[in-house]
Each structure stands twice: as C-alpha cells, then as structure tokens.
A = this chain, B = another copy of it.
Amino acid sequence: MDMTRIDTLFRQRRSGHTLPQDLYIGADTFDFDMAAIYGESWLAVGMECELPKTGSYISLMIGKWPVIIVRDKRGDIRAFHNSCRHRGSLICQPGSGTAPKLVCPYHRWTYDLDGSLFAATRMPTDFDKSLHGLKPVAMENIAGALFICLSETPPPIDDFREKLTAYAAPHNYKDLKLAHQNVLVEYANWKLVMENARECYHCPTGHPELATSFPVGMSKHFDTADQTKALTFAAQLDELGIPHDPVEGPWWQVARFALNEGTNSISMDGQHLSKKLLYAGNDGDIGSMRFAVDPHSFSHSTADHVFLFSAVPVSSTETHAYNKWYVHKDAVEGIDYHLPSMAELWDVTNLQDKQLAENNHRGVNSRGYTPGPYSQEAEMLAQRFVDWYCDKARAYIDAHVD
C-alpha cells in the first residue's frame, strides 16, 4: 500500500465535490479502504434475537474477513475472528447455527463459547492453551442491535448507544425475530453504493415504489416540504414521549421522521407488513426511526417491522449489500405477515439502486471524469458521508505516515 500516493489522492479532494477518480476505481485504494475504514469502524451486523440461546452463532464476512458472533454460556454476545489459532482455518462456515463448542473442522481444535481453547490433540505437554484462544472482536449490544469493530482501538460509542437506546425503545428490539434476509451483489465501488444510499435526489424518478411511503422530496436531514404534516407528527410524538429530532455524531445519525400522508410503514402500499405490531399506539404510526452508521449501513424501524441494510466490499468494483427484515417475535408467518410481500419494496428499490450505482461506476471510469458538485439541498447526507470518509482516511494516513 503506497501511503504517499493515497495521501496525494486525498489532498486532491475538492470540498463539496465527489472524490478524485482513483479513490473510486483504484485497485490499490481498496486495501486502504479496508484497513482505514472497515477495519476501524463500528459495523451493524444484526440483532440479538438472531442468537436466541447458548451456543447460537452467526458466521459472517466483512469483505474477506471472517467473523463469528456467538452467545456464550452466561448469555452474553461475543465476537471473534473466525480463524483457528492452529493453522488459520475457518472454524464456522458462513451462515448461522448452534454449537455447544466451536470445533475447527481441520484438526479438531476445540474452543469454548468464550473463545478459550478447550482441547488440541497431539500437541506437546508444555503447549500453553491459554495463549491460543480465539482472537476477540469488539462487540456492542445496544438495546438488542449488534455492532462489531475489528480495530483494537474502536471509536467511542457512548453517545450513539445513549441515543439509539432512546430512539429505538418503542420498537423493542429485544422482542424481534429475523423474518427474512438476502444479499445483493453490486458491481460498483462501495462508496458509490453508499453515496447512493445516503441521498434521495434520485428517488422521485428512480424509486417510484419507495415514493409511496417515503418522503422522497426531503432535503438535508429528512426535512420534508410538507411542514404541516411534520409539525403535527412532531406534536404527536412529543405527546407519546417518543424522541424524534435528528441527532448525530461523527459516524452516525439517528432521527425519526413522518411517512407520507396515509401510510404507516415502508412497503409497497405504505401499510403495515406485519399485523403483530412492535408499537401499537398512535394507530400504529410512529413514522420511521432511521439510524445510519458510517461506512456501511442504515436501518428503518416502523411500528410493524425493522429493516437493516449494510454494504460490504469484496474488491474495488464489487460490493455485497446485506438486507435483513425483522418483525415481532410472536408474529406468525402466513397469518401476521407474508414472506413474498415482506421483501418486495426493498428488493425492487435495491435493484434500482444497484443499476444506478453500477451505471455511476461505469461513468466514473471515464477518462473525462472530474469530481462534480453535490446539491447542498438534496445531497447533504451524501456529502456528509464523503466528508466523514475523507476525515477518517486522514486520521489513518497521519497515524501511519512518518
């Protein structure tokens, strides 16, 4: 990784504008992004409900980095690098399951659920098992939402924890269940995927289905043009004691905003996707509580369901978009909700976004590409994302250049 070249690229960045070309398409800048951004940030990976009992685990990939999340015997959620301390083999295959202990399939080295090495055959008598436990990954369980950080010095998370705990309370994340999940492969740089996910300038023409419920004409921090509805909505929430004003930190945002008139959920028809509500008050309409975590995710919680989107790159030109839908744990499939319609709105929206991001990537390859201006009114959050990216990169460069 040529840090001098990367430093130069970032110094070429023009404020208020998209990034220099090689930060989007350079194969060498990808390794930098993984180390400086994905390796140093908190990442949303799911909900506690996905690990219902002792030994429940999720095995997932952060790009090419394998991670295991597991519920230990005390009921705590822990995260580890998914790599045996013997020869480095993957211990759990990507997916989820339950296991009394974590056993490497290669030579049967066996780990306790707290990551400590329990058994390794044919090793010498003076072999110190205590030095060969699974390497831990930082884990935060915030009101039932799970975040990991692969850095040994994770960024401060106290403010985010406090705010998300308060804003997510009505949705009772501890009582969720995972109803559906899928992955979409996008052949575009991850930053183009995320810039797209951070603005709705393209929504009115790009996402007709989303526009049913979503205030696609919003500006800045989900400010809608329809101030009458916004004020009424704010008064209702205040009455219910539900926080809603946009709050943010360096790498996160949390807000609650009103959905379009006549809608109460983000779905094809704007109506609840699950009859078993997470919050039954106010006629089941508390708008959408959106939280977003840089570099890679956003989530919308309505009265009936929670949607979580996260994007992870595997190369400079390929990004995997993970999507998860949660409903109340007591909701019954086929009665309270229907799987075919559960994913419909975000599937169609994600496919539209995939096409836009891939088309964007192809154009950014142009020999004539130069950084262009963000709309300060319509793309403020995209610009905020890129600013955060440049600041985060700057900190890493300064720490790693002599």
Contact = CB atoms under 8 A, between A and B. Distances in A.
A359 B24 CA distance: 31
A127 B373 contact: yes
Interface in A42-82: 62, 64-66, 80-82
Nearest to A359: B90
Interface residues of A, number: 56
A84 B134 CA distance: 48
B122 A368 contact: no
Nearest to A83: B366
Max chain B C-beta neighbours (<10 A), residue from A356, A362, A368: A368
Copies in the complex: 3
Interface in A115-141: 122-124, 127, 132, 134-135, 137
Interface string A292-335: 00000000000000000000000000000000000000000000
Contact of A360 (B82, B90, B206, B378): B90
B137 A201 contact: no
A88 interface: yes
A85 B366 contact: no
Interface in A83-134: 83-91, 93, 105-108, 122-124, 127, 132, 134
A39 B367 contact: yes
A150 B201 CA distance: 31
Contacts of A80: 368
A363 B89 contact: yes
Interface of A: 18, 24, 39, 62, 64-66, 80-91, 93, 105-108, 122-124, 127, 132, 134-135, 137, 150, 195, 201-202, 205-206, 356, 359-360, 362-370, 372-373, 375-378
